[in-house]
Amino acid sequence: MGALVKAEFRKIFTINLWWALLVPVVVLSFGAGWFGTYFGSLDQLRADLGTTLPVGLLTVSMSTNFSTLFAALFGAMAVAAEHRNRSITTTFLTGSPRGAVIGAKLIAYASVGLGYGVANFLFGSLGGLLGSGIDGFGDPLDWLAVGGAGLLAMVLWTVLGVGFGALVVNSVAAITSLLVYRFVIESILASVFVRAGLTSAGAYLPAAAGGGIVGNVAVPIFIQDLKQSTGRYVPPEASDALNVFTGGSVVHTWWVSLLIFTGYAAVFAAGGWLLSRQRDIT
């Protein structure tokens, strides 16, 4: 198993994909951290209130929920790209049983996904530091909590991606459907649920649950700080408004979102694993 994991790491780092997807993660997290805290509406809010608020936590949450998309795309290529260039034949001829090969891919890709998460957290924080200074992060423990939740989210999205790619196999279809689902289909589904009167059902959808892992850590901390530092009543609508940017929802606490999304990731990973074991490679 160790040999197979080592082989997967070598495959990852001998082509360009890993850094081609890392670049947008770094740029987005840094940009969101800097511009989001310095120029954005959050800065306006801070000026109006005349007090410092942990806005850096919100921007880290926001960039995490952008970056998870790249982690998922990266994961999706683990198996799908091998089918595309037909190297999956060699992979299964040199590693046996197939279940171990997919397992090795899950481990290697999840590790790199974790690396994406670290990059996102570091560059997002660096951007936030430049934009709003050290005050923008509040309590260091809160900062670490948001960062840790972000790492979890990145790893789980990568695992979901690996499973999804192994199920779909066609790399173009895998990437397209991930993007279309994330940007179009889930919002349509969510609005359908709302019209049907199931207002909280949308929070159970994959992207909402995945976004909630970090969003539902960052937003409650922020609201709490806001209440304490201003002493004013903060309407629940404020959380909803923040959730639009940071991901997550008021329906669940962060760990419920984590459980739901872990379920999705597990279902896709198990499905991709099972199918890969049986699929004919013609």
Partner 1 sequence: MHDGSGRIAVGGLSKSFGPINAVTDLSFTVEPGSVTGFLGPNGSGKTTTLRMLLGLITPSSGAAVINGVPFAQLSNPATVVGAVLESQGFHPGRTARNHLRSYGAAMNVPDERADQVLELVGLSGAATRRTGGFSLGMHQRLALATALLGDPQVLILDEPSNGLDPEGIAWLRGFLRSFAATGRTVLISSHLLREMEHTVDRVVIISRGRCVYDGDLEQLRSAQRSRVLVEASDPGKLVESLRQAGMDAHYLQDGRLAVPDTDSRTVADLALQAGIALYGMQDERIDLEQLFFQLTSGQYTGGQYAQGGADPRWAAPGAGRQDQQGGNSGFGGGF
Interface residue with partner 1, options 41, 44, 89, 253 (CB under 8 A): 89
275 neighbors 166 (Cβ within 8 angstroms): yes
Record the tokens describing residue 14, joined without a space: 């001998």
Measured distance CA(180)–CA(73) in Å, rounded: 12
Q: Is 96 near partner 1 (CB under 8 A)?
A: yes
Q: Is 1 near partner 1 (CB under 8 A)?
A: no
Q: Is 170 near partner 1 (CB under 8 A)?
A: no
Interface residue with partner 1, options 41, 44, 51, 94 (CB under 8 A): 94
Q: Is 171 near partner 1 (CB under 8 A)?
A: no
Stretch of residues binding partner 1 (CB under 8 A), selected from 61-69, 78-86, 114-122, 247-255: 78-86
Interface residue with partner 1, options 95, 147, 161, 202 (CB under 8 A): 95
Interface residue with partner 1, options 47, 48, 50, 93 (CB under 8 A): 93
Record the tokens describing residue 151, joined without a space: 């790492």
Identify residue 126 by its one-letter amino acid code.
Answer: L
Identify residue 217 by its one-letter amino acid code.
Answer: V
Q: Is 6 near partner 1 (CB under 8 A)?
A: yes
Interface residue with partner 1, options 29, 91, 216, 243 (CB under 8 A): 91
The least CB distance from residue 280 to partner 1, in Å, is 4
Interface residue with partner 1, options 50, 85, 196, 231 (CB under 8 A): 85
Stretch of residues binding partner 1 (CB under 8 A), selected from 80-88, 150-158, 224-232, 243-251: 80-88
Interface residue with partner 1, options 87, 176, 191, 230 (CB under 8 A): 87
Q: Is 23 near partner 1 (CB under 8 A)?
A: no
Q: What angle do CA 228, 247, 118 make, to 5 degrees?
A: 90
Record the tokens describing residue 205, joined without a space: 């959808």
The least CB distance from residue 154 to partner 1, in Å, is 24
Q: What is the DSSP track for 77-91?
A: HHHHHHHHTTTHHHH
Maximum alpha-carbon separation in the chain: 67
Measured distance CA(269)–CA(199) in Å, rounded: 29
Nearer to partner 1, 87 or 191 (CB): 87
Interface residue with partner 1, options 32, 71, 81, 265 (CB under 8 A): 81
Q: Is 172 near partner 1 (CB under 8 A)?
A: no
The least CB distance from residue 97 to partner 1, in Å, is 6
Q: Is 282 near partner 1 (CB under 8 A)?
A: yes
**Given the rule CB under 8 A, which residues bind partner 1?**
3-4, 6-7, 10-11, 14-16, 81, 85-98, 278, 280-282
